[in-house]
């Protein structure tokens, strides 16, 4: 009995699959625009992680014009709801679906199994499949450059960092910032406060004020609001924005920001799908690919510092400089990267230690 049922189910599955396949190949011949869906973890707003993704969506629309239509669903919680939204896109005939938060990884994989002819691109995760690609950006390259500015401009030799969760992506940023800072100022230290939330303006501001009162005179954040930049502006200190150019939230405080640019990548991925040459990829682009940029520097940054940063930016793009070039020691004195070597992507993606110059301890396994 049981086998019978299973066979029937499989046959129905096959029939449905074939029908779907036929429907899709039919669509490819007609002039219908390709439908592209985006799933966002927070409201689009006017700065931040999701805002930058939405900018990318608009660039895609601009680049491909009538050949695509895009739709976005914002504020989708990571967890039970994500799978429904992703599935809804796939079932609605969307050819490409971009899922733009780490917590969408398992739901994306689950939906992708059921919709083999839809292409999914998941941001910042580590699981891929035949029709699921992964994308991330080398945020740490921008962090290194802001660290260089911080090292040159700090008077107290102390910078503060408001961070969300101790995952590798965030730890990379903290460490790259410290590496950049100490490359020009060996006495510099970085203090970190974890707020255990991606978006909590109240707590972010509190953490920023704590760091400032502990002697930090430049602060930055890896969270999603503009609260840290605003706190620095109020206290007359410096800050770096993140995700977006946040200069309008702190015209005096905002020295620059590490900004994310997804548009080029989105356009390329959709073009590949349209041309039928898309393959599962794991894209990790940085300054070289134009996915990471620095926002325009504040006039308060002296010319020699600006020139230095521009030179280092060129070196990173050319592959001549890497933020984790050996020797790299962790903050307990253990050597992590030997002199003459650089840290590989594999180690980077698992980073679970602080480099020398970062105060405190990371939560351990």
Partner 1 sequence: MRLKLEARAEPSPLMGYLSPLLAAGLTIIAGFILFSVLGKNPLQAFYTFFVHPIRDLNGIAELLLKASPLMLIAVGLACGYRANVWNIGAEGQLVLGAIFAGGVALYFYGSDSKFVLPMMVVAGAIGGMLWAAIPALLRTRFNTNEILVSLMLVYVANLLLSWLVNEPWRDPEGFNFPQTKQFTETALYPALIAGTRLNVGFLISLAAIAAGYLFLNRSFKGFQMRVAGLADAAAKYAGFNANGMIWLGLLLGGAAAGIAGMGEVAGPIGQLLPSVSPGYGFAAIIVAFVGRLHPVGILLASLLMSLLYLGGEAAQMELNLPSAMTGLFQGMLLFFLLGSDVFISYRVKVVQPPKAQARLKEAAA
Tell the residue number behind the tokens 């039928």, with chain if given: 276
Q: For partner 1, which residue of 34, 76, 219, 297 counts as binding (CB under 8 A)?
A: 76
What are the backbone angles phi and psi of residue 327, rounded to the nearest 5°? -80, 135
The owner of tokens 């239509």 is: 69
Q: Interface with partner 1 includes 74 (CB under 8 A)?
A: yes
CB of 99 to partner 1, least distance (A): 14
| Residues linked to residue 243 through DSSP beta bridges, in sequence order | 259
Interaction pattern, residues 174-203, with partner 1; x per rule: CB under 8 A:
----------------------x-------
DSSP H or E run through 314: helix 303-317
One of 20, 33, 59, 81 touching partner 1 (CB under 8 A) = 81
For residue 123 the two structure tokens come to 């941001």
Q: Kindly tell me which residue out of 17, 26, 79, 290 binds partner 1, with binding defined by CB under 8 A.
A: 79
Cβ distance to partner 1 smaller for residue 93 or 326: 93
- Tell me which residue has tokens 């580590």: 126
What residues have CB less than 8 Å from 248, skipping those under 6 apart?
none
**Cα gap 330→296, rounded to integer Å:** 32
CA 214 → CA 156, 192, 204, 219, distances in Å?
10, 11, 15, 11
Residues in 112-141 that interact with partner 1 by CB under 8 A? 126
Identity of the residue, 73 or 321, whose beta carbon is nearer to partner 1 in the bound complex: 73
CB of 352 to partner 1, least distance (A): 5
Closest CA to 146 of 40, 75, 240: 240
Alpha-carbon gap, residue 217 to 16, rounded angstroms = 62
Q: Which range in 88-96, 236-244, 261-269, 327-335 contacts partner 1 by CB under 8 A? A: 88-96
* Side-chain half-sphere exposure of 195, counting CA atoms within 13 A: 26
Residue 83 in contact with partner 1, rule: CB under 8 A: yes
Smallest gap from residue 80 Cβ to partner 1 (A): 4
**C-beta closer to partner 1: residue 207 or 216:** 207
DSSP-derived letter for residue 103 is: G
**How crowded is residue 65: how many other Cβ atoms within 10 Å of its Cβ?**
8
Instruction: Out of 14, 91, 311, 338, point to the residue binding partner 1 (CB under 8 A).
Output: 91
Contact status: 78 vs partner 1 (CB under 8 A): yes
Nearer to partner 1, 117 or 196 (CB): 196
Determine, following the binding rule CB under 8 A, whether residue 72 of this chain makes contact with partner 1. yes
Q: Which stretch binds partner 1 (CB under 8 A): 53-61, 73-81, 137-145, 205-213?
A: 73-81
Residue 155 binding partner 1, by CB under 8 A: no
Site residue total, partner 1 (CB under 8 A): 40
Question: Considering Cα of 331, then 332, then 338, then 344, what sign does the dihedral take?
Answer: negative
Q: What is the footprint of partner 1 within residues 26-55 (CB under 8 A)?
A: 37, 43-44
* DSSP H helical ranges for 92-162: 105-114, 139-153
The piece of 22-30, 57-65, 99-107, 276-284 that touches partner 1 (CB under 8 A) is 99-107
Asked if 167 is part of the footprint of partner 1 (rule: CB under 8 A), the reply reads yes
By the rule CB under 8 A, 80 interacts with partner 1: yes
Q: Does 84 bind partner 1 (CB under 8 A)?
A: yes
10 Å CB burial of residue 116 (0-12, 13-18, 19+) is middle
The smaller minimum CB distance to partner 1, of residues 59 and 74, is found at 74
Measured CA to CA, the distance from residue 196 to residue 207 in angstroms comes to 11
- Interface with partner 1, residue 23, by CB under 8 A: no
Query: What span, in angstroms and rounded, lies between the C-alpha atoms of 294 and 274?
Result: 32
Do 346 and 126 touch, CB atoms closer than 8 A? no
Binding site for partner 1 (CB under 8 A): 9, 37, 43-44, 71-81, 83-85, 87-89, 91-92, 102-103, 106, 126, 165-168, 171, 196, 349-352, 363-365
């Amino acid at each position: 009995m049981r086998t019978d049922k299973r066979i029937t189910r499989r046959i129905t599955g096959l029939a449905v699959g074939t029908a779907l396949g036929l429907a899709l190949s039919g669509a490819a011949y007609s002039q219908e625009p390709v439908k592209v869906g985006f799933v966002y973890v927070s409201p689009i707003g006017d700065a931040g992680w999701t805002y930058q993704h939405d900018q990318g969506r608009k660039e895609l629309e601009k680049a491909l014009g009538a050949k695509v239509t895009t739709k976005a669903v914002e504020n989708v919680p990571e967890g039970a709801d994500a799978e429904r939204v992703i599935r809804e896109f796939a079932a609605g005939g969307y050819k490409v679906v971009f899922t733009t938060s780490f917590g969408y990884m398992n739901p994306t994989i689950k939906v992708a199994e059921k919709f083999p002819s839809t292409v999914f691109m998941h941001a910042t995760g580590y699981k891929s499949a035949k029709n699921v690609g992964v994308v991330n950006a080398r945020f740490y390259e921008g962090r290194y450059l802001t660290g260089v500015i911080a090292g040159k401009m700090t008077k107290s030799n102390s910078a503060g960092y408001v961070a969300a969760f101790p995952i590798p992506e965030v730890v990379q940023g903290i460490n790259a910032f410290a590496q950049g800072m100490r490359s020009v100022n060996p006495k510099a230290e970085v203090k970190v406060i974890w707020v255990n939330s991606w978006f909590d303006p109240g707590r972010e501001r509190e953490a920023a004020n704590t760091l400032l009162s502990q002697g930090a005179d430049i602060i930055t954040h890896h969270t999603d609001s503009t609260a840290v930049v605003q706190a620095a502006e109020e206290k007359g200190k410096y800050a770096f924005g993140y995700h977006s150019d946040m200069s309008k939230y702190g015209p005096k405080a905002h020295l620059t920001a590490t900004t994310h640019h997804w548009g080029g990548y989105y356009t390329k991925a959709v073009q590949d799908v349209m041309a039928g040459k898309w393959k599962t990829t794991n894209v990790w682009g940085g300054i070289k690919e134009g996915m990471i940029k620095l926002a325009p520097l504040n006039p308060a940054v002296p010319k020699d510092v600006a020139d230095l940063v521009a030179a280092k930016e060129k070196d990173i793009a050319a592959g001549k400089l890497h933020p984790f070039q050996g020797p790299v020691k962790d903050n307990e004195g253990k050597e992590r990267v030997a002199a003459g070597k650089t840290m590989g992507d594999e180690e980077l993606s698992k980073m679970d230690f602080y480099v020398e110059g970062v105060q405190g301890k990371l939560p351990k396994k």
